[in-house]
Homo-oligomer: A and B are copies of this chain.
Amino acid sequence: MDFVAVDWGTSNRRVFEIAGGVVTATREDDQGILNCADFAGDVASIRAAAGGAPVLLAGMIGSNRGWVEVPYVAAPAGLSQIAAAVTWVQPGVGIVPGVSYSDNIAADVMRGEEVQVLGALALGEVGDGLLAHPGTHGKWIEVEDGRINRFRTVMTGDVFAALKAKSILSDLLQGEAGTGPAFVAGVDHGLAHGDLLAELFSVRARVLLGQAAKEDAASYVSGLLIGNEVSIGLGRRREPIVPVIGTAALSERFAVALDRAGRTARIVDGEDAFVAGMIAIMGATR
């Protein structure tokens, strides 16, 4: 056993036992930071199960709602800066810091995505340029000289969930969001129009006026939000190929949206990237 890497998020937790540079066992449960009652006890159990191997934790576990708050490393940040800022909360138990970005206009933070970026770089799957990391709080990350140079978070998934939970669109958003023609139509509209707060209401109006099917609303709104995100994320960048790091289902949606924007997605598996990133960070801390 080399070490145990833990992707400890808000809702879920994934544990990867790593030996000889490869994953030998994985476990996943719902003990994210909002559910976990005993961080220290759980970490002790994880170590014990791995024969006392070192443990490296990443993600929201290092946030102000997690176990021990670990300060962000300011961008530009690459492997050496991030590895140097790992906080060893106990001998053999480290927490990876997040990365922050700020200038006179923008301010942003990430926790966990930086590991996947470093992993994708280590795997040779991405290089300098723009990459996307879709999610509840999707990140668009500019890599320069192998470091995270700046980035921007777009609240797409969170806003979709909030609209679904409590808004005039709630009843229309309960269905499954597909990737068919309604999704593509939403993407095209989202790419072209920055007036999201108005376009969202028109979804309801179209259904009321019989111009759109209720069953298509969830797909259309998903497309509208993702199209808007892609438009924001691409900004003035001109990369023809944009790596997308994430889960298969979400990456596929972004691949469709990037295609509509005239770009090509290069899908990178988020779990592979996470493991490679943790191996790289662990190696660099020694």
Contacts and interface: CB of A to CB of B under 8 A. Distances in A.
Interface of A: 64, 72, 100, 102, 106-109, 136-137, 152-156, 158-159, 161-163, 165-168, 194-198, 200-202, 204-206, 208-209, 211-212, 225, 228-229, 232
Contacts of A225: 197
A176 B199 CA distance: 28
A165 B163 contact: no
B155 A198 contact: yes
16 contacts: A64-B208, A107-B206, A107-B212, A108-B202, A108-B205, A137-B201, A153-B198, A153-B202, A154-B197, A155-B197, A155-B200, A159-B167, A161-B166, A194-B195, A197-B228, A198-B232
Contact of A166 (B162, B198, B201, B232): B162
Total copies of this chain within the assembly: 2
Contacts of A155: 167-168, 197-198, 200-201
Contacts of A162: 159, 162-163, 165-167
Contacts of A72: 208-209
Given A156-B197, A195-B194, A198-B152, A205 B167 contact: no
A147 to B, nearest CB: 19
Contacts of A204: 109
A225 to B, nearest CB: 7
B166 A197 contact: no
A231 to B, nearest CB: 8
B161 A205 contact: no
Nearest to A74: B209
Contacts of A168: 136-137, 155, 158
- Closest 7 pairs between A and B when the two form their complex, measured CB to CB: A194-B194, A162-B162, A153-B201, A107-B205, A195-B232, A107-B206, A165-B166
